[in-house]
């Protein structure tokens, strides 16, 4: 996703030509590879295989896509369990981390393939959890907490959406990297697991857009 974001920034915000934007993206990939090479060497020595970042993808996908998960969350014992992959003493049956990642990834994909309706239903629940106005946890379910959370967050949602109507059409292209970032982040958690805490990287953009809407309208009132 990051190369796409880099390209979209130079192409739509900086208004560079296509091939110039592509050159910047390639340069990013080269620098990224240079910085990450020591980590790749470390992982190859440790696992005897190429591991780009870590071995959590299979586990996270399995947590969010298994027969126990009904809410889209990731609470152990409620949304998932690894008991099927443990012996009678609770010891893991996986011989190595690479095998664990592959098996859990395949189990998650198998669940999605065999239960498409359930997967879509879970995806919808994860989408709702991502944009939820108050936390899902029972510890934050009091009326007072919900009122404070909704009262502070709902206006930000409304004003940030309304701000788009104040932006000139030609300038909307400059927001494409932001929209892509929001989409990508939301997509990752719709497929895996979701919670409002995963929305935090998006909120600064919503605050700025909501602030822009408030500024324009206050300016009209003051005049």
pLDDT in tens, the chain (223 residues): 899 999 999 999 999 999 999 999 999 999 999 999 999 999 999 999 999 999 999 999 999 999 999 999 988 888 998 888 876 656 777 888 899 899 999 999 999 999 999 999 999 999 999 999 998 888 887 889 999 999 999 999 999 999 998 888 778 888 999 999 999 999 999 999 999 999 999 999 999 999 999 998 898 888 7
User: What is the pLDDT, as a whole number, of residue 88?
Assistant: 63
Rounded Cα distance between 83 and 100, Å, is 13
Token pair listed for 99: 């095998």
CA separation for the pair 132, 183 (Å, rounded): 16
pLDDT for the residue 222? 84
State the Cα angle at 85 between 80 and 88, rounded to 5°: 110
For position 170, what pLDDT does the model report? 77
Q: Distance (Å, rounded) from C-alpha 208 to C-alpha 159?
A: 10
Q: DSSP alpha helices (H): ranges in 136-202?
A: 143-163, 176-191
The predicted pLDDT at position 95 comes to 80
Residue carrying structure tokens 């090479």: 37
Max intra-chain CA distance, the chain: 75
């Amino acid at each position: 996703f990051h190369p796409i974001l880099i390209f979209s920034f130079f192409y739509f915000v900086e208004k560079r030509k296509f091939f110039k934007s592509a050159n910047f993206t390639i340069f990013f990939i080269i620098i990224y590879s240079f910085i990450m090479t020591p980590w790749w060497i470390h992982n190859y020595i440790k696992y005897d295989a190429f591991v780009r970042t870590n071995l959590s993808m299979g586990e996270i996908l399995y947590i969010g896509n298994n027969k126990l998960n009904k809410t889209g969350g990731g609470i152990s014992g409620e949304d998932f369990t690894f008991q099927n992959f443990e012996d009678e003493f609770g010891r893991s049956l996986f011989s190595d981390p690479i095998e664990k990642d592959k098996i859990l990834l395949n189990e998650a994909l198998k669940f999605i393939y065999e239960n498409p309706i359930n997967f879509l239903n879970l995806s919808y629940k994860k989408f709702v959890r991502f944009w939820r106005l108050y936390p899902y946890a029972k510890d934050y379910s009091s009326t007072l907490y919900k009122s404070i959370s909704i009262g502070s967050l709902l206006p930000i949602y409304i004003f940030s959406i309304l701000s788009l109507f104040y932006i000139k059409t030609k300038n909307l292209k400059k927001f494409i990297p932001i929209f892509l970032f929001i989409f990508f982040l939301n997509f990752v958690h719709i497929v895996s697991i979701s919670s409002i805490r995963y929305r935090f990287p998006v909120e600064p953009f919503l605050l700025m857009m909501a602030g822009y809407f408030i500024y324009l309208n206050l300016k009209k009132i003051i005049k």
